[in-house]
Structure 1
Amino acid sequence: MTDCGVCVSAGGLSLWAMFLQADLVVKSVMVLLALLSVRSWTVIFSKFMSIKRAREEAEEVMDYADQRDILDGGIHMATGLSGSFADLMVLSVQETQKAKDYGSAGLSMWHQHLLQLMGVIMEEQKDELHKGLGFLDWCAAASPFIGLFGTVWGIMHSFHVAVSGKADIAVIAPGMAEALFATAMGLVVAIPCLIAYNKLSLEVIRFTLKMENFAQELSAAALQKVCTSKSDFL
């Protein structure tokens, strides 16, 4: 067909023509793969942007902490910093101010409580960063098999047509092309998903390690500040 400006012609048979001439099952496979492709690219761009934003927020908070007392809460509250790193800093400031309520015997309990609250913040951030990665992993694994199913079905349909009529290359070739197109679509969906999943997973691991190191730094700073302050339990 030549009325579709976006069709890519291969030997006179366009992709759009192959779709229109395909069996209903093969068409369904192609539509499903097209929907998976759109969804996967949406997830990929969304995840790259969210990780980039989280990384920028983290750098801003870490730069702030390097320039001042890491637990200088009064100034920090006015900066309008956001993200999990900022939440960890605010939590450390607030809990450090509450340490005197635990007394000298409860210092260890206070520190464990601080670590638990930090763990909640970090787990929430990890869950947020991992959202969508499972879909990319599934898509990378399943799409080739979905395409392969369309190919097998298309080949079976082509042979069925061939044996019921004139079995020559002119009869079989279009159906075979449609069938193989389904496999190609599966790979087109799967390859970007696989690459993006590996890249995004690595970025999440790097961010998580940086967040855990920052939490340990805050925890140590909070404990040191409490132990050196003139409180009732010192």
Structure 2
Amino acid sequence: MLVALLSREQSRFFVSHLGTVEEIYRVKGQRIRGMLTDRVPRDRRDALANQLMKDEAKALASMTEVIGRELETSHFLLCAPPDMNAAFRAHLSKESLSRLGMFEANVHASPTEIGAAAAAIQEQLKVREERELVDQLREASPVAVSTGVQEALDCLSEGRVLTLIADDSYAADGTHCRQCGCLFETTQLSKCPACGETDLEPIDDLVEAALQQALERRAQVVFVRDPACRSALAEKAPLQALLRY
């Protein structure tokens, strides 16, 4: 997740990943009041300060979009004063707004403090994402989703998997073909069902092997942890896939 703390003094950007929060950018704010010299009529200073703040918020929104695309972040968490919040959100794309969550923290807080402040909303966003994904699996056309663990593994080997979804508690042994790379949930094989070779090796973590293949094939990986979502996933298989084709 991308985390942004905005203020007129400074704005800070963080990445939250696997429980760790790391600061990646810091942008000094414009000294808005200091830019308003005596040459600017008093009755125009507030309007000018407001416009300068909006311009800065627009630039920060553009920066956020770029960072989000480069890091392929799943969600975006924002902490900002009300005026900057509104101006900033006005320049975000619809996609970014749909993945946006709000939290509160001091702009000078440490990464650890920011992680603690954002933890609750992060968990809410993760659960929401899992529920949306389970709904997507239920509503998908039969040709767009795998129907069992082995079919998900077969589609993965064929490069057809768009998103690999696994119950976080699922663990199983399996078999890997060294020749063609295919994975199998059974451990009782004398030759590869895909290529016919006998160069097989047992693996003690089928999910880890599938995860590695998914990353190599640039597929998204999602682990389901919410109890209700895990129960819904178990109705078909603890390892499923949304397919590219």
Q: TM-score, normalising length from structure 1?
A: 0.27
Give the structure with the higher percent helix.
1
- Larger RCO, structure (CA 8 Å, separation 6 or more): 1
Q: Which is strand-richer, 1 or 2?
A: 2
